[in-house]
């Protein structure tokens, strides 16, 4: 799944398409966020649009965490955060250089410690850009890479061809991720736009389990089991690399 249709490709600025290719970003698109409250820049103004970018994780590392996180996964998670922040900052700077406002959203930074949230959900920008949907594990699922991805977001005031947004899930009756969650934090609800996170996930149960059992991996900030068992991820690695479970 890719929001860059043949029609959209002709509408995106050529410099932006070339820039994404040069940065090896395989999946990206633009999101219309005019109905959402976004972070604000130094002038106190929010942003009407965002560029959403998908960064695939190493599929072999992901396949190895179906029973719990590993040191390789913790290290890959940290390296990917650095890459997302670097690419997002570079894109924001490039957009400003071209006369537009922009703001990079940091990867995996929890700014609200009470509600366990960041400044804005990367997944919201991604679904509005048409890059994927939200699975029962509360992770973005893409057709190309399943949920074995991390996301970057750059807020912009540049008018780009957006979406179309995805507004339904394609998980069917699958409950594998719900059954695999060791914390029992997933509630099994099917996603639809506007559904509150707490309808799908008990964030405190998830957070507490990671701190109690996986503190050695990124200070208990990672688990990944629910993503690792997702058939969309396993299908990707089987197709692309001949992996069999």
Among 153, 162, 125, CA closest to 11: 162
pLDDT of res. 237: 77
CA distance 11 to 159: 11
Q: Please check the confidence at residue 242 and state whether its pLDDT lies above 90.
A: no
Per cent of the chain over pLDDT 90 is 83
pLDDT of res. 241: 58
53 within 8 A of 142, measured Cβ to Cβ: no
pLDDT of res. 41: 93
Domain boundaries, the chain: 6-241
Residue 243: band (very low, low, confident or very high) from pLDDT cuts 50, 70, 90: very low
What are the pLDDT digits (tens) for 172-214? 999 999 999 999 999 999 999 999 999 999 999 999 999 999 9
58 within 8 A of 42, measured Cβ to Cβ: no
pLDDT of res. 111: 54
Q: Pick the residue with more confidence: 4 or 124?
A: 124
Q: What three-state secondary structure class fits 139?
A: coil
Q: Please check the confidence at residue 245 and state whether its pLDDT lies above 50.
A: no
- Name the CA dihedral angle for 72, 77, 82, 85, rounded to a multiple of 10 degrees: 160
CA distance 92 to 1: 25
pLDDT of res. 236: 81
DSSP letters, 150-200, are EEEEEEE-S---B-PPP-S---TT--HHHHH-TT--B--PPP-TT--HHHH
Residue 146: band (very low, low, confident or very high) from pLDDT cuts 50, 70, 90: very high
What are the pLDDT digits (tens) for 101-111? 999 999 976 55
CA distance 207 to 185: 9
- What kind and span of H or E run contains 22? helix 14-22
pLDDT of res. 183: 97
pLDDT of res. 244: 43
DSSP letters, 67-121, are TS--HHHHHHHHHHHHHHHHHHHHHHHHHHHTT--EEEEPTT---BTTTTB-SS-
Q: Is the peptide bond before 49 cis (omega within 30 degrees of 0)?
A: no
Q: For residue 219, what is the DSSP state?
A: G
């Amino acid at each position: 799944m890719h929001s860059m249709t043949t029609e959209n490709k002709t509408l995106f600025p050529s410099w932006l398409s070339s820039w994404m290719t040069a940065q090896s970003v395989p999946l990206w698109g633009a999101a219309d966020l005019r109905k959402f409250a976004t972070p604000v820049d130094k002038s106190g103004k929010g942003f009407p649009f965002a560029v959403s970018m998908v960064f695939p994780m190493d599929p072999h590392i992901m396949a190895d965490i179906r029973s719990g996180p590993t040191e390789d996964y913790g290290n890959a998670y940290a390296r990917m955060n650095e890459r997302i922040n670097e690419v997002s900052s570079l894109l924001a700077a490039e957009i400003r250089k071209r006369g537009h406002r922009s703001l990079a959203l940091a990867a995996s930074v929890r700014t609200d410690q009470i509600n366990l949230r960041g400044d804005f959900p990367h997944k919201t920008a991604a679904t509005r850009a048409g890059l994927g949907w939200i699975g029962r594990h509360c992770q973005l699922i893409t057709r190309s890479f399943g949920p074995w991805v991390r996301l970057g977001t750059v807020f912009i005031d540049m008018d780009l061809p957006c979406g179309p947004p995805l507004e339904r899930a394609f998980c069917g009756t699958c409950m594998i991720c719900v059954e695999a969650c060791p914390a029992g934090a997933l509630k099994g609800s099917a996603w639809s736009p506007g559904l509150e996170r707490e309808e799908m996930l008990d964030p405190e149960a998830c957070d507490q389990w990671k701190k109690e059992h996986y503190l050695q991996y990124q200070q208990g900030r990672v688990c990944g089991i629910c993503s690792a068992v997702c058939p969309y991820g396993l299908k990707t690695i089987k197709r692309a690399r001949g992996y069999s479970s």
